[in-house]
């Protein structure tokens, strides 16, 4: 196959081939707005575009080299591996991290995919540092509301009813005030739970870029105390949509009025919104595996998402294509230190 850059005139053709919002043209535009170098290429066979992808380049501190990052792209077959080798050498990459948007749902495909990956083991190595989780919950939005409610965990249905009885109000919004509410709750949550999210500029840019093309919206839950006119925003989610899928990448909540179960109602409203938009799937952006342990710090998120009855899917994993082994091994070893883990999240900015 021939490797060629994708031009602006091919935008529509490009978006038809990619499968995830992270690979969408508009997401690439957002990444470039942050000053991150972005490469957008296609693989051609007999003059016809067969595969398309975009990857970002991230400078490794104190070196002249880069890490390439290709999230949620196509299956890394021999043609893609050869293309990435060429790009890695051309753009001075120490390694390229690949996280395909591929779920080997059928046993026959899973076996075939495993064989292909095994053949390419000299090129694509299982990565010691995934950025996206290997597992995820996908909710089927083609089902009726009655079916969706029936598939939920009884506790989840109960919590939705609690929120409704408490008069929690959910608003779908795209205005500046709503975005400021979202930011406040997002950073309140990251601080409280001790994880390092993206900075304000990141959220501002993704919001401004995707909102313009009707690919982003906010759901905000408000609660009003009895005999009060003051509405308190207590949960906010940013939702993205691309092709037939709704995504829940970012959100935040307040500890105040936690007992009214606003987040459960926001999730149910998101599902109904996806159906209203005519979408087929709701991607909740990650989960733990089938043997999730309560001791895992992410177990609470996992259990919350699990309650909505989605299918737990497993992706084929994360792989690294290495060009500079000494630097790659040093990078991987230092990554075990907590401070660099924070840096990596900001470096790749998934």
Q: Identify the three-state secondary structure at position 251.
A: strand
CA angle at 307 for the pair 306 and 312, rounded to the nearest 5°: 25
- The alpha carbon of 13 is separated from its chain's Cα centroid by a whole number of angstroms, namely 22
- Alpha-carbon gap, residue 81 to 133, rounded angstroms: 22
Neighbours of 297 (CB within 10 A): 9
Question: Are the beta carbons of 346 and 67 closer than 8 angstroms?
Answer: no
C-alpha closest to that of 33 among 199, 174, 206: 206
Partners of 93 in beta bridges: 66
Distance of CA 248 to the CA centre of its chain: 8
pLDDT at res. 350: 46
- Give me the sign of the Cα torsion angle 207, 212, 213, 214: positive
Residue 293 corresponds to which tokens in the numbers above?
A: 């342990």
Write down the number of H helices and E strands in the chain.
12, 14
Full pLDDT tens readout for the chain, 350 residues: 999 999 999 999 999 999 999 999 999 999 999 999 999 999 999 999 999 999 999 999 999 999 999 999 999 999 999 999 999 999 999 999 999 999 986 545 556 666 666 666 568 999 999 999 999 999 999 999 999 999 999 999 999 999 999 999 999 999 999 999 999 999 999 999 988 899 999 999 999 999 999 999 999 999 999 999 999 999 999 999 999 999 999 999 999 999 999 999 999 999 999 999 999 999 999 999 999 999 999 999 999 999 999 999 999 999 999 999 999 999 888 766 654 455 555 566 54
| CATH 3.40.630.30 domain span(s) along the chain | 2-132+315-348, 135-313
Say how many C-beta atoms besides its own lie within 10 A of residue 312's C-beta. 16
CATH class of 135-313: alpha beta
- H helix intervals, the chain: 11-17, 25-33, 78-90, 107-119, 145-151, 154-165, 176-193, 200-211, 262-276, 299-306, 325-334, 338-348
What's the CA gap between 251 and 301, in Å, rounded?
11
CATH architecture of structural domain 2-132+315-348 = 3-Layer(aba) Sandwich (3.40)
State how far the Cα of 15 lies from the Cα of 6, in Å rounded to an integer. 11
CB 321 within 8 A of CB 104: no
């Amino acid at each position: 196959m021939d490797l060629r850059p994708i031009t602006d005139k091919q935008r529509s053709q490009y978006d038809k081939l990619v499968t995830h919002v992270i690979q969408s043209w508009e997401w690439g535009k957002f990444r470039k707005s942050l000053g991150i170098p972005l490469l957008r290429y296609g693989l051609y066979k007999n003059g016809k575009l067969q595969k398309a992808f975009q990857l970002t380049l991230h400078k490794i501190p104190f070196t002249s080299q880069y890490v390439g990052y290709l999230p949620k792209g196509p299956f890394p077959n021999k043609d893609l591996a050869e293309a990435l080798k060429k790009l890695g050498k051309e753009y001075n990459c120490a390694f390229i991290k690949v996280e395909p948007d591929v779920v080997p749902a059928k046993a026959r495909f899973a076996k075939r995919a495993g064989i292909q990956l095994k053949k390419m083991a000299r090129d694509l190595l299982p990565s010691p540092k995934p950025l996206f989780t290997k597992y995820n919950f996908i909710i089927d939005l083609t089902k009726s509301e009655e079916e969706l409610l029936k598939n939920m965990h009884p506790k989840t249905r109960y919590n939705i009813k609690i929120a409704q009885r408490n008069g929690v109000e959910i608003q779908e919004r795209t205005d500046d005030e709503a975005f400021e509410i979202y930011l406040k709750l997002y950073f309140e949550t990251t601080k409280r739970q001790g994880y390092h999210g993206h900075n304000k500029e990141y959220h501002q840019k993704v919001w401004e870029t995707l909102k313009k093309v009707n690919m982003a919206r906010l759901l905000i839950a408000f609660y009003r105390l009895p005999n009060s006119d003051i509405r308190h925003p207590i949960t906010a989610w940013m939702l993205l949509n691309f092709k037939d899928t709704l995504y829940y990448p970012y959100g935040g909540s307040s500890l105040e009025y936690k007992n009214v179960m606003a987040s459960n109602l926001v999730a149910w409203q998101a599902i109904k919104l996806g159906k209203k938009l005519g979408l087929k799937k709701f991607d909740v952006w990650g989960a733990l595996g089938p043997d999730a342990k309560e001791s895992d710090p992410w177990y609470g998120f996992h259990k919350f998402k699990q309650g909505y009855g989605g299918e737990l899917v497993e992706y084929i994993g994360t792989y690294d294509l290495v060009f500079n082994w000494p630097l790659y091994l040093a990078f991987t070893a230092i990554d075990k230190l907590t401070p660099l883990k924070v840096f990596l999240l900001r470096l790749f900015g998934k």
